[in-house]
Amino acid sequence: MTGIAPQLAATATIALRPATHDDVDAIMACERQPGYDDTVGRWSREEHLAALVEPSHRYIVALDSHSAVMGFVILQEIAPAASAVLVRRIAALSQGRGHGRALLDHALALIFDELGAAKAWLRVWPHNARGMALYTKLGMREDGLSEVQRNGAPAVMTIMSIDAARYRDRKPRSETP
Ligand SMILES: CC(C)(COP(=O)(O)OP(=O)(O)OC[C@H]1O[C@@H](n2cnc3c(N)ncnc32)[C@H](O)[C@@H]1OP(=O)(O)O)[C@@H](O)C(=O)NCCC(=O)NCCS
């Protein structure tokens, strides 16, 4: 794939590639893992199939050694003159095995090195400590609040972001605590 940054070297054992229509079942399985409805959204097959062909979207999947899908990330708001790219959704089939980190690391390389965006941002539930810890480790910082509707009631999500300058200033992974 293009746009692989040096920072990805440490995660090179996890293969990553753009998703295809054939990956939708596995992507849906990832976002429907038990307990995930508390922290991540889910789409129908039709919604994923439509999103996959949107020029403003990118889907990346992480694979195990047998080429099975172990996680995915969806980017949105990609445009030729985009100043910010949204990391719309990220989920791992099995937590704590490095797939989330590999996916986000690659997504940031794509956003800054390939797309030349000025900023990457996402929304995370404040109770999602695991997600926020991962985003913080990769250089993202809290950047405001987003008012949303959840189950018909108003709720507030945390916005986290990283700009191109902070991305380039990040320490290599070997120096990251
Ligand atoms: C959030 C998510 C994508 C992270 O992916 P993951 O594969 O579990 O994370 P990784 O294994 O790559 O671990 C990332 C880092 O977080 C750390 N971490 C793992 N569990 C943690 C925890 N409970 N609390 C804090 N940090 C934790 C790991 O040590 C790792 O750091 P390291 O690479 O320096 O060792 C994944 O857990 C997930 O799919 N969660 C459910 C869906 C979700 O919440 N998505 C995000 C919505 S905003």
- Tens digits of per-residue pLDDT, 104-121? 999 999 999 999 999 999
User: Considering the chain, what is the average pLDDT of its residues?
Assistant: 91
The pLDDT value given to residue 6: 36
Atom of ligand 1 nearest to the CA of 95: 8
Q: Assess whether the C-beta atom of 124 lies below 6 angstroms from ligand 1.
A: yes
* pLDDT for the residue 151: 87
Task: Report if residue 1 sits inside a domain.
Answer: no
Kindly state whether residue 35 falls inside one of the protein's structural domains.
yes
Q: Is 98 touching ligand 1 by the criterion CB < 6 Å?
A: yes
Of 10 and 155, the structure prediction assigns the larger pLDDT to 155
Q: How far apart are CA 83 and CA 79, in angstroms?
A: 9
Burial class from Cβ neighbours inside 10 Å (0-12, 13-18, 19+) for residue 172 reads exposed
Atom of ligand 1 nearest to the CA of 71: 39
- Residue 4: the pLDDT is 42
Domain of 168, CATH number, reads 3.40.630.30
Would you say residue 174 has pLDDT above 60? Answer: no
The predicted-structure confidence for 26-81, as pLDDT tens digits, reads as follows 999 999 999 999 999 999 999 999 999 999 999 999 999 999 999 999 999 998 77
Q: Do the domain assignments include residue 68? A: yes
Indicate if ligand 1 lies below 6 Å from the C-beta of 92.
yes
Total domain count, the chain: 1
Please report how many Cα atoms fall inside a 13 Å half-sphere around the Cα of residue 49, on the Cβ side: 6
Beta bridge partners of 121: 86, 161
- The pLDDT score that the predictor gives to residue 13 is 81
What pLDDT shows up at residue 170?
86
Q: Are strands 119-124 and 84-92 parallel, antiparallel or unpaired?
A: parallel
Q: Write out the residue range of the structural domain in which residue 44 sits.
A: 6-172
Ligand 1 mean position to 38 CA, how many Å? 15
Residue 173 pLDDT level (bands cut at 50, 70, 90): low
Q: Answer for the pair 162, 119: CB distance below 8 angstroms, yes or no.
A: yes
- How long, in residues, is the chain? 177
Closest Cα partner for 110 from 58, 67, 170, 64?
Answer: 58
89 domain residue, yes or no: yes
pLDDT score at 124 = 98
In a domain, 104, yes or no: yes
Give the 3-state secondary structure percentages of the chain, helix then strand then coil, rounded to 5. 35, 30, 35
Q: How far is CA 129 from the centre of its chain?
A: 16
The whole-angstrom separation of Cα 144 and Cα 133 is 17
Residue 120 lies in a domain: yes
Check pLDDT > 50 for residue 167: yes
**Cβ partners under 8 Å of residue 12, min gap 6:** none
| Confidence check: pLDDT of 177 > 60 | no
Residue with the nearest Cα to atom 27 of ligand 1? 130
Separation of alpha carbons 31 and 58, rounded Å: 17
Mean pLDDT for 165-173 is: 83
* Cα of 67 from ligand 1 centre, angstroms: 21
Residue 63 lies in a domain: yes
Q: Is residue 177 part of a domain?
A: no
Mean pLDDT, rounded, for 86-110: 97
Q: Which residues pair with 72 in a beta bridge?
A: 61, 91
